């Protein structure tokens, strides 16, 4: 032993604190202790080559995170005490927050569990510890989001029945099936899907618009948890890149497997983000940037630059990314048109954009918007004015993979609907795109299990075979759905504004 | 003089989410703990079976033989959600950090009598692997457990054990003046020294258990219930009585932590046992199956530390665990 204390640098200290804690088991075989990390075919020769992306010890983690939590909850308390929901731009904005609570917060919870599985499941200690940190971070995110939204729930509709509709509502199968697809895959695919494809490649398209949108629209609660989560997210992104490099450096046989996952999860993530793009374009009364512009910055520039860097590992950009780019002029309009027609079967409100907003769309999306979508909105606005607000009478056919209603159009023809069919074991399965069809065809046994809400509803498995029975099963009341103008949220908002104006007059 | 601050009066439509109101009763204002611990885990409409376990759903009540009407009843009496958890630990960490820095600065641990240093090195330093094993087991519960509160508290418990393993590592490095050799030596002993083999085997056997509630009982009640008192109360007492008060400064955290974690463990076991006679019988059966093995795993450590007093010390520890068993409601 040394006589005087040696100097250890931070990296050495970290290594000693984490590595070497694990051991090669001998009373039970390693394959029995870690039964899940080989069956996907990923070959790992040396887990010690894993580079820890966080280099965090528990004491440092507790310290940093506690500081963040103290600040966050101080702001949430003051937000509630001061009725700061009055400061949002417009009550239409709340629908963006509702989508988050209904569709995204449950995924944060599922990510907590999924990363706990990885934090238990990988046989390499470094990878395990990294996943454990991400797991507890994800737990943080679902909890801080619920605590932030709790105040909104007291005043606005669309939050109260989240735990029921999260699983049962047809449109929430989009985010739910996405995540369940990842968690039911093996550990390497899960971490590739979420840490790399989602957190590293696509997260800027989710997080930036949502949190910036919240800030633009006076939503301090969301802005605060968003900023507070940002340093967690940057850790998660680092993990995503490390995972890809690690798998590719370990064995050349891993390349085709990883490439296929990147193809699949790019497309799956892109389809999911259509919902976010729609929220960003249509539900933010004060616009941050259009989906088209976000796609150009975060995918066409940053995403492609990333894949250029990764080409040295033999990776190419994901399949069908050029289709996604072609769709940038239409996807959010096609999506909004669909939700508009079906919102009486959701816990959301929809509306036709104002004239100023339609002009903004014209400027952002150009000719296609003016020739295809604007006339449609003007037609529906006219119907609504005449007391015939347009709703579809039936539920939509949804894609067997991404679970989005089949409204997407052909890559080169925005006027031609795209619906592809695969027959498997005597049943026809509809898909919205070649991207989704490839995914189905590669693992038909998995995707033929998918719970397809409209089919289940019409079979009478969801409280009854009518829309009314279905809505009752979801605990969604009539006044919580459909058209925004004239809704409970809208009326309440108008009263608040009138009250605030009255107060201002009285005190003046 | 009183001043009225003018604010807008706005009546809320409801006080909380439906699932929380259904559990607590309409109109009841939930705590922040309750608001995020009820009904958050999905229990229905799963799209695909796990490719890694097609027999079960992603979250499945059948991954334990324990039955509960509502797994959300397995609450944490400490009411830890993420925020309260990290804030509490950061306070403890700050206090412990001060102790560590005094001990390091004054060389208090390196000044111990050689016999004491030897015992600490032999017993405490290899124990970091057992704490890592406890991390592994609690992560299993966090991953595959059922209901909202249990996996969350198990995740905290798992992260705590990583923290424990890291604090032990620091103690080892202080003892060796930062020579990492002490850790390699301890690991070699953990792997090969006969004294550690029953415990290592016990842990490896626990790693392949599939019932997460049985694992909870084995790890957090039995293993911890024997080993933590042995090392951090009895051994510590022995060291302190022999002039090693400095050791208590760097292990105080373990004692506090254990006392606190025990509240969660006992409360959840008691809730499960109180749910039905079947649960109670099952928990009793598991306890009877594992307790002798756990005692057997701890015995060589007790003999090394306490020599001819070891049987007496082990009996004291076992009696305390028995008392806890009784309070929980096991036969």
A388: enclosing H helix or E strand: none
Residue B16 lies in a domain: no
Q: What is the nearest CA distance from B320 to chain A, expressed in angstroms?
A: 30
Q: Mean pLDDT, chain A, as a whole number? A: 94
Domain-embedded: residue A38 = no
Put simply, the answer to whether B35 touches A180 (Cβ < 8 Å) is: no
Candidates B40, B166, B181; nearest CB to A57: B166
Residue A2: the pLDDT is: 57
- Residue-number span of the structural domain to which A349 is assigned: 55-494
Residue in A closest to B197 by C-alpha:
A27
- Among B10, B14, B97, beta carbon nearest to A160: B14
Task: Give the containing element (helix H, strand E) for A438.
Answer: helix A434-442
Encode pLDDT of A93-133 as tens digits: 999 999 999 999 999 999 999 999 999 999 999 999 999 99
Region A26-52: mean pLDDT is 95
Number of domains forming the structure of chain B: 1
Across the range A356-374, mean pLDDT stands at 97
Among B13, B135, B208, the residue with its CB nearest the CB of A154 is B13
How far is B104 from chain A, CA to nearest CA, in Å? Answer: 9
Q: Could you give the percent of chain B with pLDDT greater than 90?
A: 88
Neighboring chain A residues of B96 at a CB cutoff of 8 Å = 59
CB contact under 8 A, A113 and B142: yes
Q: What is the pTM (predicted TM-score) of this model?
A: 0.96
Residue B217 belongs to some domain of the structure? yes
Quick check: A7 and B40 CB within 8 A?
no
Q: How far is A300 from chain B (nearest CA, A)?
A: 32
Res A400: pLDDT: 97
Contact B165, A22 (CB under 8 A): no
Number of domains in chain A: 1
Task: Write the CATH number for A93.
Answer: 1.10.620.20
Chain A residue whose CA is closest to B164 = A58
Confidence class for position A6, pLDDT limits 50, 70, 90: confident
CA angle B208, B213, B218 (to 5 degrees): 65
Does A71 score more than 50 pLDDT?
A: yes
Domain of B222 in residue numbering reads as 71-328
Q: Chain B: nearest CA to A295, how far in angstroms?
A: 29
| Position B323 in a domain | yes
* Candidates A139, A446, A503; nearest CB to B82: A139
CA distance A278 to chain B (A): 25
- Contact list in B for residue A57 (CB cut-off 8 A) is 163, 166
Smallest Cβ distance to B132: which of A22, A119, A184? A22
Q: Do A183 and B82 touch (CB under 8 A)?
A: no
Q: Which of B6, B36, B159 sits opposite A58 (nearest CB)?
A: B159
Give a yes or no: residue B80 inside a domain.
Answer: yes
Give CA separation, A63 vs A205, A226, A307, B91, in Å.
Answer: 30, 20, 36, 8
Q: Tell me, yes or no, whether A27 lies in a domain.
A: no
Of how many residues is chain A composed? 508
Position A210 in a domain = yes
Is B166's CB within 8 Å of A59's CB?
Answer: yes
- B149 to chain A: closest CA residue: A139
Task: Give residue A507's pLDDT.
Answer: 44
On whether residue A1 sits in a domain, the answer given is no
Residue B44 carries which DSSP code? S
Residues of A in contact with B151 (CB under 8 A): 112-113, 116
Q: Which of residues 278-297 of A touch B (CB under 8 A)?
A: none
Q: Given this model, what pLDDT does residue A425 score?
A: 95
Q: How many CB pairs under 8 A join A and B?
A: 257
pLDDT band (50, 70, 90) for residue A508: very low
Q: Which ranges of A82-197 does DSSP label H, i.e. alpha helix? A: 94-99, 105-121, 125-153, 162-168, 173-184, 187-191
**Which residues in chain A are closer than 8 Å to B50, comparing Cβ atoms?**
183-184
Considering only CB atoms, which chain A residues are within 8 Å of B191?
A: 23, 26
Q: Which two tokens stand for residue A189?
A: 């695919």
Helix, strand, coil fractions of chain B, as percent rounded to 5: 70, 0, 30
CATH of the domain at B277: 1.10.620.20
The partner residues of A244 in beta bridges, in order of sequence, read none
Burial A391-400 (b: 16+ CB within 10 A, else e): beeebbebbb
> Does B27 reside within a domain?
no
Q: Which residues numbered 437-496 in A keep a CB inside 8 Å of some CB on B?
A: 446-447, 449-451, 475, 496
Residue A183 lies in a domain: yes
Question: Which three-class secondary structure state does DSSP give residue A52?
Answer: coil
Q: Could you say which of A86, A139, A144 has the minimum Cβ distance to residue B155?
A: A139
Q: Which residues of chain B have pLDDT under 70?
A: 1-8
Contact A168 B44 (CB under 8 A): yes
Query: Among A217, A322, A326, which residue's Cα sits nearest to residue A280?
Result: A217
Chain B residues inside the 8 Å CB shell of A103? none
CA distance B327 to chain A (A): 31
In a domain, A467, yes or no: yes
**Do the strands A427-431 and A409-410 form a parallel or antiparallel pair, or are they unpaired?**
unpaired
Residues 92-151 of A with CB under 8 A from B: 106, 109-110, 112-113, 116-117, 119-121, 125, 128-129, 132, 135-136, 139-140, 142-144, 146-147, 150
pLDDT of residue A381: 97
User: What is the DSSP secondary structure assignment for residue B58, as one 8-state letter?
Assistant: S
CB A420 within 8 Å of CB A434: yes
Task: Supply the pLDDT for residue A312.
Answer: 95
Residue A421: its pLDDT value, please?
96
B104, closest residue in chain A (CA to CA): A5
So what's the pLDDT on residue A203?
A: 81
Please indicate, yes or no, if residue B35 is contained in any of the structural domains.
no
Residue of A nearest to B7 (CA): A82
* Residues of B in Cβ contact (< 8 Å) with A61: 86, 159
Domain membership flag for residue B97: yes
Split at pLDDT 50, 70, 90, the class of A136 is very high
pLDDT tens column, A235-282: 898 899 999 999 999 999 999 999 999 999 999 999 999 998 999 999
Reduced to 3 states (helix: H, G, I; strand: E, B; else coil), residue A250 is helix
Predicted confidence band at A8 (pLDDT cuts at 50, 70, 90)?
A: confident
Q: What is the pLDDT of residues A159-198, one digit of tens each?
A: 999 999 999 999 999 999 999 999 999 999 999 999 999 8
Mean pLDDT, range A436-454, rounded to an integer: 96
Pick from A4, A76, A120, A150 the residue to mutate for testing the B interface (most B CBs within 10 Å).
A120
Distance in angstroms (rounded) separating the CA atoms of residues B147 and B43: 8
In the structure, what pLDDT confidence band is assigned to residue A75 with cuts at 50, 70 and 90? very high
Block residue for tokens 């759903």: B57
A207-246: pLDDT as tens digits: 777 889 999 999 999 999 998 998 898 889 889 999 999 9
> Nearest CA to B268 among B147, B183, B187?
B147
Contacts of A168 in chain B (CB under 8 A): 44-45
Distance between CA B269 and CA A241 in Å, rounded?
Answer: 41
Residue A71 in contact with partner chain B when CB distance is under 8 A = no
DSSP lists the bridge partners of residue A430 as A421
Contact B36 A146 (CB under 8 A): yes
Residue A488 tokens, joined: 């409970």
Q: Is A508 helix (H, G, I), strand (E, B) or coil?
A: coil
R_g of chain A, CA atoms, integer Å = 24
Rounded Cα–Cα distance for residues B144 and B137 (Å): 11
Q: Tell me, yes or no, whether B23 lies in a domain.
A: no
């Amino acid at each position: 032993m040394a006589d005087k204390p040696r100097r250890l640098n931070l990296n050495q200290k970290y290594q000693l604190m984490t590595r070497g804690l694990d051991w090669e088991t001998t009373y039970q075989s390693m394959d029995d202790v870690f039964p899940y990390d080989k069956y996907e075919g990923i070959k790992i020769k040396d887990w010690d080559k894993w580079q820890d992306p966080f280099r965090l010890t528990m004491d440092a983690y507790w310290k940093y995170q506690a500081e963040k939590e103290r600040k966050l909850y101080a702001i949430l308390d003051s937000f509630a005490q001061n009725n700061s929901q009055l400061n949002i731009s417009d009550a239409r904005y709340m629908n963006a927050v509702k989508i988050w609570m209904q569709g995204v917060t449950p995924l944060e919870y599922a990510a907590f569990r999924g990363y706990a599985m990885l934090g238990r499941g990988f046989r390499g200690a470094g990878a395990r510890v990294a996943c454990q940190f991400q797991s507890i971070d994800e737990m943080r995110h679902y909890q801080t989001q619920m605590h932030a939204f709790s105040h909104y729930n007291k005043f606005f509709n669309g939050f109260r029945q989240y735990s029921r509709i999260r699983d049962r509502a047809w449109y929430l199968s989009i985010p739910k099936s996405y995540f369940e697809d990842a968690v039911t895959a093996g550990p390497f695919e899960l971490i590739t899907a979420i840490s790399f494809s989602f957190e590293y490649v696509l997260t800027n398209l989710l997080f930036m618009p949502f949190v910036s949108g919240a800030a633009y629209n006076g939503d301090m609660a969301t802005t605060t948890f968003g900023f507070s989560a940002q340093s967690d997210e940057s850790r998660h992104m680092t993990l995503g890149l490390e995972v890809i490099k690690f798998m590719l450096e370990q064995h050349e046989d891993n390349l085709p497997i990883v490439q296929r996952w990147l193809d699949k999860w790019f497309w799956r993530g892109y389809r999911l983000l259509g919902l976010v793009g729609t929220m960003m374009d249509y539900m933010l009364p004060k616009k941050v940037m259009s989906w088209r512009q976000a796609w150009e910055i975060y995918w066409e520039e940053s995403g492609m630059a990333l894949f250029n860097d990764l080409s040295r590992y033999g990776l190419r950009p994901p399949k069908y990314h050029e289709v996604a780019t072609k769709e940038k002029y239409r996807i959010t309009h096609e999506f909004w048109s669909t939700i508009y027609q079906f919102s009486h079967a959701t816990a959301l409100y929809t509306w036709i954009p104002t004239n100023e907003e339609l002009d903004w769309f014209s400027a952002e999306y150009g000719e296609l918007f003016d020739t295809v979508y604007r006339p449609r909105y003007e037609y529906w606005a006219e119907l609504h004015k005449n007391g015939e607000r347009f709703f579809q009478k039936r539920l939509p056919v949804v894609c067997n993979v991404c679970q989005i209603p089949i409204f997407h159009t052909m890559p080169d023809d925005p006027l031609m609907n795209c619906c592809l069919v695969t027959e498997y074991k005597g049943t026809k399965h509809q898909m919205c795109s070649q991207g989704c069809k490839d995914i189905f065809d590669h693992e038909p046994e998995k995707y033929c299990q998918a719970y397809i809400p409209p089919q289940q509803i019409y079979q009478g498995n969801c409280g009854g075979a009518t829309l009314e029975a279905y809505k009752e099963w979801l605990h969604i009341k009539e006044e919580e759905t459909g058209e925004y103008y004239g809704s409970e949220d809208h009326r309440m908002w108008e009263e608040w504004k009138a009250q605030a104006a009255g107060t201002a007059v009285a005190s003046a | 003089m009183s001043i009225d601050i003018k604010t807008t009066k706005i009546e809320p439509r409801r006080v909380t989410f439906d699932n929380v109101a259904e559990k607590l009763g309409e109109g009841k204002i939930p705590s922040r703990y309750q608001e995020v611990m009820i009904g958050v885990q999905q229990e229905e409409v799963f799209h695909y079976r796990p490719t890694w376990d097609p027999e079960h759903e992603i979250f499945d009540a059948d991954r334990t033989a324990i039955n509960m009407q509502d797994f959300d009843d397995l609450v944490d009496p400490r009411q830890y959600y993420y925020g309260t958890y990290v804030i509490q630990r950061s306070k403890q960490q700050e206090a412990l950090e001060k102790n560590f820095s005094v001990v390091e600065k004054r060389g208090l641990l390196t000044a111990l009598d050689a016999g004491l240093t030897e015992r600490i090195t032999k017993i405490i330093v290899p124990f970091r692997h057992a704490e890592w094993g406890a991390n592994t087991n609690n992560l299993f519960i966090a991953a595959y457990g059922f209901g909202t509160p249990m996996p969350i508290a198990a995740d905290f418990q798992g992260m705590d054990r990583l923290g424990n393993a890291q604090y032990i590592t620091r103690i080892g490095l202080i003892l060796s003046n930062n020579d990492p050799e002490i850790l390699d030596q301890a690991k070699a002993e953990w792997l090969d020294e006969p004294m550690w083999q029953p415990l290592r085997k016990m842990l490896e056997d626990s790693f392949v258990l599939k019932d997460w509630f049985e694992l909870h009982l084995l790890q957090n009640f039995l293993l911890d219930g024997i080993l933590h008192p042995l090392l951090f109360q009895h051994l510590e007492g022995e060291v302190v009585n022999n002039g090693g008060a400095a050791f208590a400064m760097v292990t105080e955290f373990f004692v506090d932590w254990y006392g606190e974690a025990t509240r969660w463990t006992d409360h959840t076991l008691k809730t499960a046992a109180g749910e039905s006679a079947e649960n109670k019988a099952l928990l009793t059966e598991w306890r009877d199956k594992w307790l002798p093995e756990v005692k057997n795993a701890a015995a060589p450590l007790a003999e090394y530390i306490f020599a001819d007093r070891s049987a007496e010390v082990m009996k004291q520890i076992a009696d305390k665990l028995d008392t806890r068993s009784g309070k929980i409601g096991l036969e």
